[in-house]
Structure 1
Amino acid sequence: MSDFDQMGIVVDWVDACRKGDLAMLLDLYADDAQVECTCNGTQRYRGRHELESYWRSRLSTFSSAGFGLEEIMPAPHGVDLEYSVAGVLRIHASFRFSPEGKIYSTLCTPSLQNTHDGCAC
């Protein structure tokens, strides 16, 4: 069991997305973190520079379309989150953490009920 608040880190992640705060969001990730997005084919981004490129456009989409927290729950090795964009598009994100309390990996997939809508993650 970790000695840091995994759920709190994901709540901070949600806050950074809602605010469109790229620096705050990137600070939550480990230096060698990876984001894997399977929404439109599998794409992987690793390290701060690639994550910055990945999140820059998505954060502007979130702030203009609206970002909503749908569900957050502990998972066996981290935290699972479901969020919505524009109140319609639902995305599932799984977070795993480094021993230092940083996000080490994020896997995002379209939620099953809305796979026909595409993905903004």
Structure 2
Amino acid sequence: MSDFDQMGIVVDWLDACRKGDLATLLDLYADDAEVKCTCNGTHFSYCGRRELETYWRPRLSAFSSAGFGLEEINPAADGIDLEYSVAGSLRIHASFRFSAEGKIHSTVCEPARQNAHDGCVC
């Protein structure tokens, strides 16, 4: 069992996305963190703070202006699984894994089953 609240970290992640707060969002990630995005039929991987900033900066603007909602959040065997919506309809599934220090080590996002044909903006 970890010494930190994984669910709480993901809720903080969600709050940072809703507010468009890039600095807070990046601080939730480990220095060597990775984001893998399999949305829109493509496979992209972003590693380290600089690449995460490049990935998140335009997306946060879209999230905060379109509306960003929590659909489901559940503990997983090795982290937290989150389903969120953008603009009230586009649903995205994200899996979070954590470092021993309580930072997000990896995030994998993909279209959720409800709107998989629409791709995603994650």
Q: Which runs of 5+ in 2 are unaligned?
A: none
1:9 aligns with 2:6: no
- Give the aligned partner of residue 55 of structure 1: 56
% identical aligned pairs? 79
Distance in 2, Cα, partners of 1:118 & 1:75: 24
Distance in 1, Cα, partners of 2:118 & 2:67: 16
Alignment of 1:21-100 (within 5 A): 21-40=21-40, 41-100=42-101
SS in structure 2 at match of 1:4: coil
SS in structure 1 at match of 2:9: helix
TM-score (norm. length: structure 1): 0.99
What RMSD, in angstroms, separates the aligned Cα atoms of the two structures?
0.5
Distance in 1, Cα, partners of 2:118 & 2:64: 19
Instruction: Please identify runs of 4+ aligned residues in structure 1 that moved more than 3 A.
Output: none
Quote how far apart the aligned CAs of 1:117 are.
1.1
Distance in 1, Cα, partners of 2:115 & 2:69: 15
Distance in 2, Cα, partners of 1:3 & 1:25: 21
